Structure 1
């Protein structure tokens, strides 16, 4: 333990279980700095997400006026190279998936020992000796010019919309991110053509916190249309390429199918690719006990595969009553579409005590706002004053439907 000489932030206490009282008698950094220099001399620092640990060490030594420089190896990056397709590369989940025992999570000894065992496993997997030959990183000097570094220092690590301005104050790019600061750093260090142009023209960056990613997506879409920044021209053309639609066949059964999202009729929900749409349908078939043939997943003129294994009730060959089958299809449509609905979508706000609210009337998106107290959204007059009107168009429909499908814990309030 090291005493940071400041209060521990609540989210760190919740994550690690370490609070300020536990650190009262711990040594301060300057008291252990000499020992850190000695034990890391001529060594490579191996850590899980080493850039974070190394940045902390460098920052503390910089406060002491000491230039701390070491080589580093990151077991996150190495794991991604040598053990691809893992569900998660966090230390806890990765070690659990690999059967590496771990004790004292979020304590120096427990995390370090788990990293040692993981690193040994990676060395064994590295048959081509990539780690030894190539993966040792000698510290790179910052390639961000001083003026850009100054801009970054003033940005928050919050969800929201950001605006990149040129020297005339004109907005040249609008974007959204769950971490505004991190995203701007990516713009300022990117090597592609657009990033280089932005780096050359940027004078300042302004931002608006939204708390909710849905709010950020909707604001980004609306404000790009309103401002037409020069580096946003291609945005939204291909983000939602496919959608889920329905029709009733000659036997009265409701059929579902995936098609390109440029059709005239209102889709049930939308997808970024045909593949993601098909993946959704396969899961929906299981959840609502639907027929593979009537969802376009099994091309046949007779019964579907699930009927052969007694998992389909026979809608594919007109055995199941139409009303019974259509009732389940309508349950799916009801769950994933907001057509003709009057409702509020409640999501995160910009502060702990605040929530964001999105108003849908008769299936039409009316706008969004923020509130602190529940009575504010229960009173229709107050609610309407809180809402900032926004345009309902194909993009907003895509954004809301996709977000509702991906975020199962959203609070939905049906309006009478």
Structure 2
């Protein structure tokens, strides 16, 4: 049994918007056997542009039931059914969120008629519901209303099931789009062509569609099946071949499966998933190299859906300065392109940077005022409770105070100024090399497993140079905090 569902909502974000209308058509694989539709009171105002699109007004839903009043009906109708929708991610994510707000985990197998249509009716100019229905002769009344769209999707689904039956004995590679006219001749729309047991071809097609329901509709399943279970970076491409997203993982196959399993949180997220038409990748062997290379690629290529990482993965940091009285000052602040300083340590946001600095001030007896954590024209609070030794009022000389600042810096800087991280390569016969010289990231490369070096210059010759910046500095620091299997650090004076 299949539950063909369509929703109308107050917007495109399941985390913020609510359902205004729901329609469910139950299909037994041959015909529609049950139906249900109702407006819903979303508990908030419907934006004018949504009203213009759907025709649903605030007055229309003012006396409609709220979702919790129909939730039981939805559960009972769809129990044991495959959840079918055109762009199933969108509708399924909204329903899951509504149920989650009620403390219920709504879970169904899903099937996407966009993806199934692309597979069984290739070559259509568009796979949007309106244009696809127009192209293959399905009536669509009440466009952008739940009942109209759900009924059209149910008719489309019925045609798709008949195509799998009709094409079972056709030679491999036959253009199935020509079978639509033959399918129409079998029986009136919505009626069963026969009461026969579903064919193996139909069963296989539906099972495949369920398995691939949450995959991007433009992405061939064979591409995902060919992904390596190894460490590296991966690229999502759109239909034009443009890179729209760059990611990294220690297991590319599993990470990408996670991408597609995540519920849609917004219409933009849905657009992103629906834009993915191909995936390519590069193996790195080393997790550290994958992290560094991903950061470089995002800044270089500026993919459309990596916006949050284009400038900096770590937009705040701790900086070292010296004031006019000779005191070394640690301060937290924004880390962006307008700030040419490279922080001692970069962090995820200013709140984290402030908390990190509070910890160092307490541990090394530093002055809250000099560190910008206590705004006052006089002594800091710690001086009043005898935790600060008086640098804020000139009582402690810079020489002794600066020694403790240096200790704090040593605790968060690289343990060594010049070193290489030697890790796994892309094959068992090579090693990866990441070089840091005089505290500056120089780049990475690969060498044969028999490679040996006695001086730093030997490693300079085998790496490809990459730009040092706040992000890579923090990536390396974070990585060095935990020892990885098959990895070692070689230090130079």
TM-score normalised by the shorter chain: which range applies? 0.5 to 0.7
SS in structure 2 at match of 1:378:
coil
Which residue of structure 2 lines up, in the alignment, with residue 415 of structure 1? Answer: 492
Q: Is the 8 A contact 1:188 1:195 kept in 2?
A: no
* TM-score normalized by the length of structure 1: 0.57
Q: How many residues align?
A: 288
Higher relative contact order (CA 8 A, sep 6+): 2
SS in structure 2 at match of 1:206:
strand
Q: Is the 8 A contact 1:238 1:272 kept in 2?
A: no
Which residue of structure 2 lines up, in the alignment, with residue 266 of structure 1? Answer: 342
Which residue of structure 2 lines up, in the alignment, with residue 336 of structure 1? Answer: 412
Q: Is the 8 A contact 2:316 2:332 kept in 1?
A: yes
Which residue of structure 2 lines up, in the alignment, with residue 316 of structure 1? Answer: 392
Q: Is the 8 A contact 1:359 1:366 kept in 2?
A: yes
CA distance in 1 between counterparts of 2:232 and 2:418 reads 27
Q: 1:361 to 1:149 in 2, by over 3 A?
A: same
Q: Is the 8 A contact 2:435 2:459 kept in 1?
A: no
Taking only aligned residues, the RMSD between alpha carbons, in angstroms, comes to 3.9
CA distance in 2 between counterparts of 1:312 and 1:301 reads 16
CA distance in 2 between counterparts of 1:224 and 1:311 reads 45
Q: Does 1:400 align with 2:465?
A: no
Q: Is the 8 A contact 1:366 1:391 kept in 2?
A: yes
What pairs up with 1:171-190 in 2 under 5 angstroms? 171-189=243-261
Q: 1:283 to 1:375 in 2, by over 3 A?
A: farther
Structure label with greater radius of gyration: 2
* TM-score normalized by the length of structure 2: 0.49
What pairs up with 1:236-315 in 2 under 5 angstroms? 236-237=310-311, 239-261=313-335, 262-315=338-391
Shift of 1:271: 1.9
Q: 1:232 to 1:409 in 2, by over 3 A?
A: closer
CA distance in 1 between counterparts of 2:450 and 2:343 reads 32
Shift of 1:275: 0.4
What pairs up with 1:222-237 in 2 under 5 angstroms? 222-232=296-306, 235-237=309-311
CA distance in 1 between counterparts of 2:334 and 2:415 reads 19
**Structure 2: 5+ residue stretches without partners:** 1-79, 82-98, 111-209
CA distance in 1 between counterparts of 2:375 and 2:428 reads 50
Residue 162 of structure 1 is aligned with which of 227, 234, 245? 234
Bigger CA drift: 299-308 or 406-415? Answer: 406-415
Shift of 1:228: 4.5
Deviations 1:110-143 (A, max 9, x none): xxxxxxxxxxxxxxxxxxx989972364445442
CA distance in 1 between counterparts of 2:406 and 2:103 reads 59
CA distance in 1 between counterparts of 2:395 and 2:450 reads 49
Q: 1:272 to 1:374 in 2, by over 3 A?
A: farther
CA distance in 1 between counterparts of 2:482 and 2:103 reads 46
SS in structure 2 at match of 1:289:
coil
Which structure has the highest helix share of the two? 1
Shift of 1:404: 0.5
Deviations 1:365-392 (A, max 9, x none): 2211245769634344542343122233
